Chains A and B, each alone.
Chain A
């Protein structure tokens, strides 16, 4: 194999002349980070709400929450993405659909991708939240109620703070997943990290450099996320509980 390695390719201006190829990579990285972080914040909030609803006594609410989880967990991510990007704008009220279609194409891609990733991940977060709440001693809820807390107060002050501590490890892996899953969004043309990598191959015919760079970027994201989550886990560790000091 006589492949011509050329690492300096990253410093060359792109064929379009807007920036260097490294600039493309950074633009992709930025898009991946922005998309994933926005989707993650939404997924956490939605997942917490849906996870809580799955554990409430009200059968209608818990049934709806179960349906939500099953829906978003069981349809393939790619199919969900196409539905949000291609189908939804036709189904919503026309004025809203038109406004969407007249917005900047990148904004359209970003919104569809963000909503898709957020809802898909929220269903998985909800499952973790539910299992965290259910693994707490049953008496905790009663203790909160017996003190005069309302049910929402019991969740807010008693159940969720402990449940979230318990599910930190699986939440970390969901957080990592959302970065990996965001690569799917290149299929609707969003120029995130993986898409920029492919574009670089098309323009330069230097696939190895391109994909090595993309890989390094994903690994770096992983390392940073894991380090931060570990720090957070240590910070909120409860003294005298589960090996805490």
Chain B
């Protein structure tokens, strides 16, 4: 009776006759152990899992206790661990976060969206109303326009540009609601307002609303996460993260922008001639190598360089890789799907000879736009850098295989 096979067949037959009770008893130890991740993890390593039945089916799946992947939160934002992700979808709980008044708790049964202003029929929509319109899903990235850091070598992709993430968003086209309320022909802008403590507002050109703007209520197959605007948010594919107003509660249709604080004091940047650039909606093409990167140490020989590329203006057309500090460039593989306004995965096989070098990636989108260097950006804009920085990122590899981020030069050499 104590040989593994005997015990297993006993359990199987017992489970069919005595059912859940006996099974639970048999699992008692495992279930208890689950409360102490460390000891449980140790148990699982020590005991051959083929000799001990695991926990029964559960109401909610969990990440393996060996996976410690996390966002990197600061006072104002949380950054996605780009270097630890596979494929192109960001798990919902690892989607980057940027809030201006914290994360509100909104009861979906009390949620309402008011649309008024230059419309024929000011209307209030409940969540139930919104869900009755034809639903659609699309995969696209969302990126904060303040998504850049580059001041020291000890930076991971998460530190440098972890304020970009991608999900499959489900919801309705805003144009459905525009037709419903009868947006007047003279309207040129609309104000989107969130229901958080910042009551965050942005003015959006009306054409985006007629084009591909969505009111999204789904994220990766389930309801939005609260941090992403539960129960409903505005989604403007390809446009700077801040305009994708979360917890959207009101849309006011107008014929001029409101000049809100987030489109004047913030999300604007200095140009060279003493002017400030405002309404910088598009997120321009960008790429970053996510492997190999700091703090990894690699071995001589074959290395598959991996990364992500995206553009708010269309599809990624090409990603170029340099393994000789930018002297020569070679096209990487685009591992499909290559979607419109979406993170696209690229790979490049490289046989590292063990000499110190720098590896870089450069995205080109289907408008022909080429990802610039920081020196090219400063040459155009001046040195007072603010939002919308998408420079080429270089990784420096030492002889011992240790990888570091290479802070870019701001001036052309």
Whether chain B is bound by chain A comes out as no
Binding site for B on A (CB under 8 A): none
